[in-house]
């Protein structure tokens, strides 16, 4: 059983409440993702949690092809958030092939495989 107060659990608990939070090192000020107890930039151990801006850009993208009876095609992408971290996710609300590199996207808490997850949608404007 995972530590109820570990970094992954803190992140998952926030998602369950509809919030997207990111770990930030109190020593060097850098955000990092995936959640962990040691800053990957300076190896500091003083970590705080901050609400993510939700603003990002698609860094890479691909389309996963599936038969329609298995749910149809979907996209997988790497999104770089305004805070400088990258998250693997998907962009919802448009055709998988219409997701492009450098597309502006906005994060939201959705559902993937029955659990809360960070998903993205194209930014308006």
Q: How many CA atoms lie within 13 A of 22 on its CB side?
A: 23
> Which among 124, 114, 107, 103 is positioned nearest to 18, based on CA atoms?
107
> In this structure, are residues 76 and 91 in contact, taking their beta carbons and an 8 Å threshold?
no
Farthest-apart Cα atoms in the chain, separation: 50
Question: Is this model's pTM higher than 0.75 or not?
Answer: yes
pLDDT for 113 equals: 87
- Nearest to 120, CA basis, from 60, 74, 77: 77
For the chain, the domains span 7-51, 55-122
What is the DSSP code (8-state) at residue 123? P
Binned average pLDDT, 10 residues per bin, the chain of 125 residues = 73 95 96 94 95 97 95 95 97 95 97 94 87
pLDDT for residue 4: 62
| CA nearest neighbour of 100 among 84, 70, 120, 71 | 120
φ/ψ of residue 76, rounded to 5: -125, 135
Q: What pLDDT does residue 125 have?
A: 64
């Amino acid at each position: 059983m995972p530590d109820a107060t570990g970094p992954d659990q803190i992140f998952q608990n926030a998602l369950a409440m509809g919030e997207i939070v990111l770990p930030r090192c109190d020593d060097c000020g850098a955000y990092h993702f995936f959640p962990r107890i040691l800053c990957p930039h300076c190896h500091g151990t003083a970590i705080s949690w901050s609400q993510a801006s939700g603003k990002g850009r698609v860094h890479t993208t691909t389309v996963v092809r599936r038969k329609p009876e298995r749910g149809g095609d979907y996209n997988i992408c790497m999104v770089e958030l305004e805070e400088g971290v990258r998250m693997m996710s998907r962009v919802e609300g448009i055709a998988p092939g219409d997701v492009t590199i450098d597309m502006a996207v906005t994060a939201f808490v959705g559902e993937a495989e029955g659990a809360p997850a960070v998903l993205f949608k194209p930014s308006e404007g």
